[in-house]
């Protein structure tokens, strides 16, 4: 039937051309077809697609998002962890207080997944407010009370015994647990693309601020220091392997309240819990300058919002290290 329809149309076209040729007056040729319209077609006038952005850096993305969810890996941050492996590939890092005034890192991976990451250490209740919705945590485990709370918050986690989590034979326990994130990511599937972790913007959006080329975040027994060099921030007391340091474009310091997690570690220290909700003071370091502001977060799963006295504060797109410094018993210093 379709072939017959094409044949009939062809016959009609031929007949119309014959009539047009005979219709010329005084032997003149029939006028040529009118010039095509200069008005754009629907396809030419259609709007270009909206750009897509990486949720953990705010940078523009080309192509489709990864199939795996955000993977947050808990990494030891004491001298015993040296050298840390895989931090250079992280999209974003959050440093949080643990027992004894030391810190632990939550390294976020989404746009890029390294072959290995470690040393992998345990979760804390603080992570409930740090880990974004839909993410999976790679960890060495946690205390029973913490596991109960993490499970209650609906956060999936992977630990020793799962494929891709292994002991590095050249290191001593408990600093020898590592994870092959590339292998792990292939087994995970995200239900939907994650939302932006921070309110992203551009350097042009920032207030002028004050000069600040060095800063130190003091947690008690541990301090993390940064210097502005070559357009970014260098962690001058990092435990990362050489060439595998986190390349921070900005350092965001948020002053947080800290409570008691309700148990003690094996050494007898009370375990603190960062209350990453509510509001507090914020310091955004970018481009060798510092902008003072405030942060707010509606509940543990709420979005992080930043502001100055003049209005909303955004973080320039790029890689960010977030320091969750205790408002009490913690300190932040910086200098020109």
Question: Does pLDDT of 16 surpass 80?
Answer: no
Comparison of pLDDT for 105 and 4, the residue scoring more: 105
Question: Does pLDDT of 209 surpass 50?
Answer: yes
Question: Does pLDDT of 184 surpass 80?
Answer: yes
pLDDT at 47: 80
pLDDT at 158: 98
CA distances from 28 to 15, 17, 32 (A): 19, 15, 12
pLDDT tens profile 108-148: 999 999 999 999 999 999 999 999 999 999 999 999 999 99
Question: Does pLDDT of 33 surpass 70?
Answer: no
pLDDT at 41: 47
Question: Does pLDDT of 233 surpass 80?
Answer: yes
Across the chain, mean pLDDT equals 89
46 inside domain: no
CA distances from 134 to 124, 167, 278, 322 (A): 18, 27, 22, 20
Question: Does pLDDT of 152 surpass 50?
Answer: yes
pLDDT at 122: 97
pLDDT at 134: 96
3 inside domain: no
pLDDT at 40: 47
**pLDDT band with cut points at 50, 70 and 90 for residue 272:** very high
269 inside domain: yes
220 inside domain: yes
Counting residues of the chain whose pLDDT is more than 70, the rounded percentage is 87
172 inside domain: yes
Question: Does pLDDT of 43 surpass 70?
Answer: no
CA gap 77, 318 in Å, rounded: 23
pLDDT at 45: 54
302 inside domain: yes
16 inside domain: no
CA gap 306, 279 in Å, rounded: 10
Counting residues of the chain whose pLDDT is more than 90, the rounded percentage is 83
CA gap 115, 99 in Å, rounded: 30
pLDDT at 297: 98
Q: State mean pLDDT over 162-171.
A: 97
Question: Does pLDDT of 183 surpass 50?
Answer: yes
Q: What CATH number does residue 215 fall under?
A: 3.50.90.10
pLDDT at 22: 39
Q: State mean pLDDT over 165-175.
A: 97
Question: Does pLDDT of 326 surpass 80?
Answer: yes
Question: Does pLDDT of 29 surpass 90?
Answer: no
**Domain total of the chain:** 1
180 inside domain: yes
pTM for this model (two decimals): 0.85
Q: State mean pLDDT over 233-237.
A: 97
Q: Of how many residues is the chain composed?
A: 336
What lies within 8 Å, CB to CB, of 75 at 6+ separation is 81, 84, 86, 87, 104, 105, 106, 107, 117, 118, 119, 120, 121
Give the domain range for residue 187.
60-335
pLDDT at 50: 86
Phi and psi of 333, rounded to 5°? Answer: -125, 150
């Amino acid at each position: 039937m379709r072939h017959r329809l094409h044949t009939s149309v062809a016959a009609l076209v031929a007949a119309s051309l014959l009539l047009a040729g005979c219709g010329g007056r005084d032997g003149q040729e029939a006028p040529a077809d009118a010039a095509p319209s200069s008005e754009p077609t629907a396809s030419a006038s259609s709007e270009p697609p909206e750009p897509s952005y990486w949720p953990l850096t705010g940078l523009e993305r080309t192509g489709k998002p990864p199939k795996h969810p955000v993977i947050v890996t808990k990494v030891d941050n004491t001298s015993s962890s040296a050298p840390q492996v895989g931090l250079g590939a992280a999209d974003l890092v959050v440093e949080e207080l643990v027992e004894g005034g030391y810190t632990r890192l939550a390294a976020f991976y989404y746009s890029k997944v390294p072959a290995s990451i470690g040393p992998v250490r345990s979760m804390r209740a603080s992570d409930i407010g740090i880990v974004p919705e839909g993410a999976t945590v790679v960890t060495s485990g946690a205390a029973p009370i913490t596991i109960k709370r993490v499970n209650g918050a609906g956060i999936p986690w992977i630990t020793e015994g799962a494929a891709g989590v292994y002991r590095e034979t050249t290191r001593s326990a408990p600093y020898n647990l590592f994870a092959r994130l590339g292998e792990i990511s292939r087994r995970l599937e995200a239900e939907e693309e994650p939302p932006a972790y921070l309110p992203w913007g551009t350097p042009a959006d920032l207030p002028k601020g004050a000069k600040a080329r060095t800063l130190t975040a003091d947690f008690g027994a541990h301090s993390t220091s940064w210097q502005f060099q070559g357009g970014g921030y260098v962690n001058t007391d990092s435990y990362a392997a050489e060439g595998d340091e986190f390349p921070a474009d900005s350092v965001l310091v948020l002053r947080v309240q800290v409570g008691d997690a309700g148990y003690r570690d094996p050494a007898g220290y009370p375990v603190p819990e960062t209350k990453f909700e509510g509001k507090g003071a914020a310091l955004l370091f970018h481009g060798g300058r510092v902008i003072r502001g405030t942060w707010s977060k509606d509940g543990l799963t709420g979005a992080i919002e930043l502001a100055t006295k003049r209005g909303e504060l955004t973080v320039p797109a790029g890689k960010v290290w977030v320091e969750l410094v205790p408002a009490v018993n913690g300190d932040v210093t910086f200098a020109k």
